[in-house]
Amino acid sequence: MMKTEQQYFDEAISLEQYMNKMEKHKEESFRIYEQFEVPADDEFIELLKAKKPNILVITEDWCGDAMMNNPVLRRIAEAAGLDVRTAYRDADTDLIDKHLTNGGRSIPIYLLLDEDGEVEAKWGPRAAAIQEYVLELRKDLPAADSPVYKEKQQAFIERITAEYTSKPELWLTVYDDIRKTFLPVLQKQS
């Protein structure tokens, strides 16, 4: 019997516990967490407070996108008093295999669950604008079989990581994209 998202949620650890247990990118993730502030609007936070949806995160700590996105989600959750829990992608791939991105096990994935534990919305692994930006940067990479590929790929990853941890406008882009995905679902429920 395949487990439901609600069962994964029930067994998962909190996003706070997950961040405290990180072995890779921990310092960078906390740097973002300490600096990011949820914009003071906001219908989004008010609706989250009213609806109290659970959010299930599928992630791993080696992932650069998770390093940036998870602290933003944690701030949203804290502002709205939400229960956000974390499942490790590779601990049980049945879960991620129900939520593939273009056929791949991309992370992080955020699943908005209703009171019955049904998935109402899915976000991830990247904000659309950041995805475009990353793809644009990737165009400069040589072919995978090139002798300089590994070196260039490493430089690319280092650049992205540096930007992810130092550019508040990227964190706001993540926030706005999560908001754009989840808000219509919350509005529909009211």
Residues 110 and 95 sit within 8 Å (Cβ to Cβ): no
Domain containing residue 95: CATH number: 3.40.30.10
Distance (Å, rounded) from C-alpha 6 to C-alpha 84? 12
Q: Residue 89 has what DSSP assignment?
A: G
Distance (Å, rounded) from C-alpha 88 to C-alpha 190? 32
Compute the mean pLDDT over every residue in the chain, rounded to the nearest whole number.
95
- Beta strands 54-59 and 84-88, pairing class: parallel
The pLDDT, as a whole number, for residue 59 is 98
Alpha helices (runs of H) in the chain, residue ranges in sequence order: 5-11, 15-21, 26-35, 43-51, 64-80, 93-97, 128-138, 149-166, 168-189
Residues 127 and 103 sit within 8 Å (Cβ to Cβ): no
pLDDT tens digit sequence for 50-107: 999 999 999 999 999 999 999 999 999 999 999 999 999 999 999 999 999 999 999 9
How are strands ordered across the β-sheet holding 109-113?
13-14, 84-88, 54-59, 109-113, 119-123
Q: Which domain holds residue 117?
A: 5-189
Please report which confidence band the pLDDT of residue 2 belongs to, taking 50, 70 and 90 as the band edges.
confident
87 closest CA partner among 8, 5, 1: 8
Alpha carbon distances (Å) from 138 to 66, 86, 151, 164, 169: 19, 29, 13, 15, 20
Residue 190 above 70 pLDDT?
no
Domain count, the chain: 1
